[in-house]
Amino acid sequence: MLPVVVVHGGAGHIPKERSELSTSGVTSAVRAGYAVLRGGGSSMDAVVEAVTYLENNPAFNAGCGSVLNVKGDVEMDAFVMEGKTLGSGAVSAVRNIANPIQLARLVMDKTSHLCLTAEGAKQFARSMGVPEVPQESLITEYSRMRWRKNLAPDANPVECQMGKMGTVGAVAVDSQGNVACATSTGGILNKMEGRVGDTPCIGCGGYADNMVGAVSTTGHGEAIMKVVLAKHILYQMEQGQSVEAASDLGLACMKFRAAGLGGVITVDPQGHWAARFSSRQMAWAAAQKDTLHYGLYEGENFTQSIDVQH
């Protein structure tokens, strides 16, 4: 059953013309993460590799392709956590960085803190030798078009948000049974400057515990936070629920208590995994036993064999 890696490209509603981009993006990312695991890499290495792929892909709302805040700027949040130590790292509202997920990992590895925000996060990046990138390199024409459209007084950014796949994330278990998660996002369309969502908030955007499993979440951030979604799902698993049932219970709680839709990917240390969503769609992919699984609409689980290079 081990190793296994699962990725998502955000919960929401994908316009038909963009669905192929989403599917090819998540399958490429999961292959990259799986190659790390098959090469003996840790689950943390694998989730960071997979999310880096998604950040670099302009089709997703993370890194290049992030949505713009109300001022037209890119401010990004990211989070990583490893289940062996409960160690984690996060950055919030960070600018001018190509790969916030790698910066979140540096926060975990190189500081005694768990989260750095805004200008402090940028200064830390500089001190670690992470290159600063011009904001323009993170902005796509599509992001700018949607930003303009949502400046109209009658626009509904939350509804429109669901019109683009959002946050990206990955969970993995390596052959030692160590679980990890990683989540990265540009946040919510036309957000206020300095808005921090669920992603960098431990237990909301993700959580990893070798005694239970790992989760990465996506969807309406404020609703995810209200129910502390990732931790909620792991509590259900501690009570004996399967990865699938626990994920569904978490999403049902989010709908019932916070009127929000979203999606999650979940693994347990034995390698059971689930990709579940209450939104119309979620691009997801998983790799296990040299088989690629992927889907976009409810009930889909396409498979392909993975040709592993030795």
Extended strands (E) in 13-142: 76-82, 88-94, 115-117
Q: Does 207 bind its own copies (CB under 8 A)?
A: yes
Q: Tell the residue number behind the tokens 């998604």, with chain if given.
A: 54
Specify the residue, 27 or 69, whose C-beta has the smaller distance to its own copies: 69
Single residue of 225, 237, 274, 283 touching its own copies by CB under 8 A: 225
- Beta carbons of 95 and 134 less than 8 angstroms apart: no
| Amino acid sitting at position 274 | A
Q: Is 154 annotated as a binding residue?
A: no
Q: Is 220 annotated as a binding residue?
A: yes
Single residue of 72, 258, 272, 280 touching its own copies by CB under 8 A: 258
Q: Does 84 bind its own copies (CB under 8 A)?
A: no
With H, G, I as helix, E, B as strand and everything else as coil, classify residue 77. Answer: strand
- Beta carbons of 77 and 92 less than 8 angstroms apart: yes
Q: Does 261 bind its own copies (CB under 8 A)?
A: no
Specify the residue, 63 or 89, whose C-beta has the smaller distance to its own copies: 89
Q: Exposed e or buried b for every residue in 184-201, given b needs 16+ CB within 10 A?
A: bbbbbbbbeeebbbbbbb
Q: Is 290 annotated as a binding residue?
A: no
- Beta carbons of 101 and 184 less than 8 angstroms apart: yes
Which tokens hold the place of 70?
């109300």
Q: Does 80 bind its own copies (CB under 8 A)?
A: no
Single residue of 204, 212, 246, 282 touching its own copies by CB under 8 A: 204
167 is annotated as an active-site residue: yes
Q: Is 291 annotated as a binding residue?
A: no
Single residue of 13, 18, 84, 195 touching its own copies by CB under 8 A: 195
What end-to-end distance do the CA atoms of the chain give, in Å? 19
Which residue of the set 27, 167, 199, 217 is catalytic? 167
Instruction: List binders of its own copies among 150-169 (CB under 8 A).
Output: 158
| Amino acid sitting at position 269 | P
Region binding its own copies by CB under 8 A among candidate stretches 6-14, 15-23, 188-196, 294-302: 188-196
Number of residues that bind its own copies (CB under 8 A): 42
Nearest to 184 by CA among 56, 19, 5: 56
- Beta carbons of 88 and 79 less than 8 angstroms apart: yes
Q: Does 132 bind its own copies (CB under 8 A)?
A: no
Instruction: List binders of its own copies among 228-247 (CB under 8 A).
Output: 228, 231, 235
Q: Does 72 bind its own copies (CB under 8 A)?
A: no
Q: What is the separation of C-alpha 246 from the centre of its chain, rounded to a whole number of angstroms?
A: 18
Binding site for its own copies (CB under 8 A): 86-88, 90, 92-93, 111-121, 123-124, 158, 191-197, 201-204, 207, 221-222, 225-228, 231, 235, 257-258
Active site residues: 167
